[in-house]
Amino acid sequence: MKNVTRREFGKVAAAAAALAGVSLPEFSLAQQPLASRQFPPGFVWGCATASYQIEGGVHEGGRGPSVWDVFSHTPGKTFDGDTGDVADDSYHLYKEDVRLLKSLGVGAYRMSIAWPRIFPQGTGQPNPAGLDYYKRVLDELQANGITPYVTLFHWDLPAALPGGWQSRATALAFADYAGYVARQLADRIRHFMTTNEFICFTDLSYGVGQFAPGLKLPQAQVNQIRHHGILAHGLGVQAIRASAPAAQVGLAENAKVCVPVIEDRANLEAARRATREENAPFLTTLLEGAYPESYLQREGANAPRVEPGDMKAIGSPLDFVGLNVYNPTYVRAAGSALGYAIEPYPASYPHMASPWLYLGPECIYWAVRNVCELWHPAAIYITENGCSAADVVTPAGRIEDTDRVMYLRNHLTHLQRATADGFPVKGYFLWSLMDNFEWADGYSKRFGIHYVDFKTERRIPKLSAEWYRAVIAANAVL
């Protein structure tokens, strides 16, 4: 390192601090000036959760069973036989959850509505008590100045729907439910997301068998189920628009994030091309209003059956695209027909507490950039980003989750780059407000910035909550 005298060093630090508009004691020598870590004015900071993962109260207020109640009560399906019967008990403790949000200083909360609370049978007679619960939650948010961003389907499908997503009728039932909720709650909700993460409630649920209902069907049927999923989204968009014309409508999708192995032209182009191909059955199709020819050719006889009008609905214009971003897929240029190759993770590649959660914070930048360059959406939200960590409560009662802070800080650094490049990123929702039911992993994986003691339901802010509060206050990466 070049030798600098104390005097020279002081001068440089003072000049940098003056540029950044902060006083010297606040100036961290280890970081860039605050100005280059700043998010645009009005950037939306939020936290995310989902109904089945936090609510509990599964038999209350007239709620019908969901496929996740059935699945989690089937021996051997979830870690330790964990279920969402009680979860974070947000059905009763929602006011406390809103207090946590308020104390973080977030402007927005991404939550989901449980379809079987509104239509216990999936269709037919609505359940006023279910709707009243969400009115109470939404009113509490409003009283605290927090804007709701509401997902209509985050995997808790009413168990009563025959065949679940195997049936085309489920897509139509979803549209009825979406239209009903939008009509009833248009005065309280301005931002709707139709569905969350297609691949999880289609492939993983009906092909791999890892998620409810836990089936392992052949590819042709899985492709048809995918089609019903995106059709539900499209019909849902139309129904929301008809019922709540002033609402902003989008979705939350965990598109595969293709990161160029080297930031040069050839690899950048390969990553963009890969983004389109790798997301062919879902995001690509609904943003282009047609299945890519390459996808149809690849699937051949297994390609989905499409009815007249389906593609128009599926391609319904959106106000925003929500991206759930967790991990990178590294891509390089290749001489193959596709023009790219995916690099497998080496054995030593680091991951967070969930074995699938490979660490690659630049993925959040490439998620935004690839999607914007391919499809030019009007607005992008990061609808989820966060990580599991092996949190422990210290004898002093604290949770020092420095690994989670590291994960989040690095992702936000790369998200800031996307905003500085001028991409229309409007907001960021951290997954999750608090530890909750992590699907097949039950309560064994903690994603919250508040620790939940599942015996007492006590919530304790982790170091990451303290850090996020500071980030929000500064509107900058800290």
Q: Applying CB under 6 A, which residues contact ligand NOJ?
A: 50, 53, 196-197, 324, 384, 431, 438, 447
Q: Least distance (Å) from ligand NOJ to the CB of residue 211?
A: 10
Nearer to ligand NOJ, 31 or 444 (CB): 444
- Tell which residue, 155, 317, 131, 323, has the closest CA to residue 238: 317
Nearer to ligand NOJ, 38 or 49 (CB): 49
Token pair 């389906």: residue: 310
Q: Least distance (Å) from ligand NOJ to the CB of residue 50?
A: 5
Q: Least distance (Å) from ligand NOJ to the CB of residue 199?
A: 10
- Tell which residue, 234, 230, 151, has the closest CA to residue 198: 230
Could you confirm whether 400 is annotated as catalytic? no
Residue 261 near residue 267 (C-beta atoms within 8 A): yes
Q: Of the listed 55, 253, 278, 384, which one is catalytic? A: 384
Q: Least distance (Å) from ligand NOJ to the CB of residue 436?
A: 7
Does residue 38 come out as left (phi exceeding 0), alpha (psi in the -120 to 50 range) or beta? beta
Q: Dump the DSSP string for 304-346.
A: PP--TTHHHHHT---S-EEEE----EEEEE-SSSSSEEEPPPP
- Tell which residue, 4, 12, 8, has the closest CA to residue 33: 12
Phi and psi angles of residue 313, each rounded to the nearest 5 degrees, phi first: -65, -45
Does residue 475 come out as left (phi exceeding 0), alpha (psi in the -120 to 50 range) or beta? left
Pairing of strands 258-260, 329-333: parallel
Q: Of the listed 55, 197, 278, 299, which one is catalytic? A: 197
Nearer to ligand NOJ, 53 or 123 (CB): 53
Nearer to ligand NOJ, 252 or 270 (CB): 252
Look up residue 347 and give its two tokens: 């054995």
Q: What is the gyration radius of the CA atoms in the chain, in angstroms?
A: 23
Q: Least distance (Å) from ligand NOJ to the CB of residue 322?
A: 10
- Tell which residue, 236, 381, 375, has the closest CA to residue 314: 236
Nearer to ligand NOJ, 244 or 363 (CB): 363
Q: Least distance (Å) from ligand NOJ to the CB of residue 40?
A: 26
Nearer to ligand NOJ, 340 or 447 (CB): 447
Could you confirm whether 277 is annotated as catalytic? no
Which residues are catalytically annotated? Answer: 197, 384
